[in-house]
Structure 1
Amino acid sequence: MKNILILGGTGKTGRRIGRRLQAAGHPVRTAARTAGDIPFDLGNLTTWAPALDGVTAAYLVEPDLQASVDHRARIPRFVAEAVAAGVRRLVLLSAHGVGEADDSHPLKPAEQAVRGSGVDWTILRPDWFSQNFSESFWLPGVLSGDLLLPTADGGTPFIDAEDIAEVAASALTEDRHSGQTYQLTGPRVISFGEAADLIGKAIGRTIRHVDVDPEDFVKRQVADGVPVDVARLLTGLFVAIRNGRGSAVSDGVERALGRPPRPFEDYVAKTAAAGHWN
């Protein structure tokens, strides 16, 4: 029986967690809209019970941060159903800054529900993923040579998704993480300009970070099909970095795993060698 459920099982963290757990011999069920072990949609209640059947531990992800989504009726309701179905351990992928945010933050209800679930829980609050440069948001900019972001010279301690996955896999299978909230960052703050330079040197091309006006950035995202509320939320996070209010380096990875986080330079070297920026 596959008793560890991974929501978003084909995503950046989910697929890495699944690989780690399967390699260690743990019975894993990946849940996703497509390509997972079982079809799952957080917005479709009929997919919940089959995903939870026989599950004792679950990794939770809220994939949609739009203001139009009722976030008090998704993860919180899923948590209640999961506990009723026999789940006894929950690991939530949250985000940097949720602890200081007011109740309007879309991930606040998820954290509150997990903490109040009555079962073992762990909350992960990662900074920006290093893999955003190679697997999603910022890849087109890297490939074009111009990374357009409203961050000026501000920096942040990018976290390798492999570290997030290792912490999550440990939290799903070991008692010692119960009741812990881990702020997950890389070992040092890096500006987007330095990140672009490191990637460019690794692949032998010029990659530039180009600072853009925040309002222009919002308009560009909306023109690309991003909902306006999501565009403004993401731009606000970039502006925080721009203004020197990005994440501080945290010891979360070391507390969870007993070792320092992977350096950004290691991520760049590995990704370049794999040809993801070719």
Structure 2
Amino acid sequence: MTRTSAQEDMTVVVTGASGRAGSRVAGAARAAGLTVRAASRATGFDWWDRSTWAGTLRGADAAFMVHPADVGAPDAAQTVGAFAREAAGLGVRRLVLLSARGEEQARPAEEALAAAGTRWTVVRAAWFAQNFGEGPLAEELRGSGELVFPAGDAAREPFVDLRDVADVVVAALVSGDRYAGRVLEVSGPRLLTFAEAVAEIAKGTGRALTYRAVAAREYGGNLVAFGVPEQEAAFLVELFGTLLDGRNARLSDGVRQVLGRAPRDFGDFVREGAAAGTWEPGAAGRA
């Protein structure tokens, strides 16, 4: 992306800037010449403390929003709407919300953003490839060599690379009104089951990694045992019971539409992660 003087003068708030998606959006925004205002608890921003919002938003031109729990969580619409209205009132001209493709529970949050009175774009992403390289799923693969998850044996997903998501978000932030009022759906270039994804990681690493499908309710019990609050675990059981039912077994052209190129393939993610030792026992690498 060619930098312009307008981009160099543009300040963008990136919520969740230390997280999986936000960190990559922040990096892509800096690479595009934007001034990034990282918003996280480390910088004094707290989604659950509205008194921290104004100081973070004041003087910014745009903001990237990623809900700290899930965009379809029961309180997400209220929180997203309130944040968007605060941003609009402080003169923030553009807002981009990260949402989830196929997640009906996320629609109220998207609608709350649209009603806030500022230019908005929703980026609906497929399941992140990086979920296999960071967080609990990666820890399972590194530790036990088995991924236990309620995605069934046949549900297929076009896993999307978070770097592509970040590039689309930044394009939406800097492209004026081109993507205002639009929903952009992004996915990877091919469909894989979770078992096939784990098999590709196994082949790339030379490790005997396996996938075992379980029912959503059984997985919810596992979450509670791992320390996840029961209310949050119940929401995730409901979410996985619908989101992973095969409804996402289709490709979206958002990456090519916005960036003019094909999305990164899951195999590229695996090769890079394997070279970095992401799935080696005891590693905490980042693919």
TM-score (norm 2): 0.87
| Cα separation, partners in 2 of 1:67 and 1:273, compared to 1, 3 Å | closer
Distance in 2 of aligned mates of 1:259 and 1:234: 34
Q: Among residues 37, 47, 52, which one is paired with 1:47 in the alignment?
A: 52
| Cα separation, partners in 2 of 1:56 and 1:242, compared to 1, 3 Å | closer
Residue 157 of structure 1 is matched in structure 2 by 158
> Can you give the 5+ residue segments of structure 1 that lack an aligned partner in the other structure?
none
**Quick check: 1:200 aligned with 2:199?**
no
Q: Among residues 238, 244, 247, which one is paired with 1:245 in the alignment?
A: 247
1:112 offset after TM fit, Å?
1.2
> Can you give the 5+ residue segments of structure 2 that lack an aligned partner in the other structure?
1-8, 281-287
1:217 offset after TM fit, Å?
1.3
Distance in 1 of aligned mates of 2:135 and 2:141: 11
Distance in 2 of aligned mates of 1:255 and 1:147: 34
Which stretch of the first structure deviates more once superposed, 68-77 or 45-54? 68-77
Q: Among residues 178, 181, 186, which one is paired with 1:179 in the alignment?
A: 181
**Quick check: 1:272 aligned with 2:274?**
yes
Which stretch of the first structure deviates more once superposed, 79-88 or 244-253? 244-253
1:242 offset after TM fit, Å?
5.8
| Cα separation, partners in 2 of 1:45 and 1:91, compared to 1, 3 Å | same
**Partner secondary structure for residue 78 of structure 2:** coil
Distance in 2 of aligned mates of 1:66 and 1:19: 22
1:218-270 CA-to-partner distances (Å, cap 9, x unmatched) read: 11111112233433433344444664333421112111211121110011111
Residue 148 of structure 1 is matched in structure 2 by 148
TM-score (norm 1): 0.89
Residue 37 of structure 2 is matched in structure 1 by 29
| Cα separation, partners in 2 of 1:11 and 1:76, compared to 1, 3 Å | same
1:85 offset after TM fit, Å?
0.4
**Partner secondary structure for residue 94 of structure 1:** strand
1:54 offset after TM fit, Å?
0.6
**Partner secondary structure for residue 139 of structure 2:** helix
Task: State the one-letter code of the partner of 1:64.
Answer: A
Distance in 2 of aligned mates of 1:66 and 1:160: 19
Number of residue pairs the alignment of both structures matches: 269
The Cα RMSD (Å) is: 2.1
Task: State the one-letter code of the partner of 2:30.
Answer: Q
Which stretch of the first structure deviates more once superposed, 14-23 or 49-58? 14-23
**Partner secondary structure for residue 135 of structure 1:** coil
1:53 offset after TM fit, Å?
1.8
Distance in 1 of aligned mates of 2:75 and 2:243: 28
Task: State the one-letter code of the partner of 2:134.
Answer: E
Which stretch of the first structure deviates more once superposed, 237-246 or 186-195? 237-246
Task: State the one-letter code of the partner of 1:77.
Answer: A
**Partner secondary structure for residue 270 of structure 1:** helix
1:33 offset after TM fit, Å?
1.2
Distance in 2 of aligned mates of 1:45 and 1:146: 41
Are the equivalent residues in 1 in contact too, given 2:158–2:251 (CA < 8 A)?
A: yes
Aligned residue runs from structure 1 range 89-104, under 5 A:
89-98=94-103, 101=104
1:183 offset after TM fit, Å?
1.3
Q: Among residues 207, 218, 221, which one is paired with 2:220 in the alignment?
A: 218
Are the equivalent residues in 1 in contact too, given 2:102–2:248 (CA < 8 A)?
A: no
Q: Among residues 10, 14, 21, which one is paired with 2:18 in the alignment?
A: 10
| Cα separation, partners in 2 of 1:161 and 1:72, compared to 1, 3 Å | closer
**Partner secondary structure for residue 133 of structure 2:** helix
Are the equivalent residues in 2 in contact too, given 1:147–1:209 (CA < 8 A)?
A: yes
**Partner secondary structure for residue 91 of structure 1:** strand
| Cα separation, partners in 2 of 1:153 and 1:73, compared to 1, 3 Å | closer
Distance in 1 of aligned mates of 2:202 and 2:214: 20
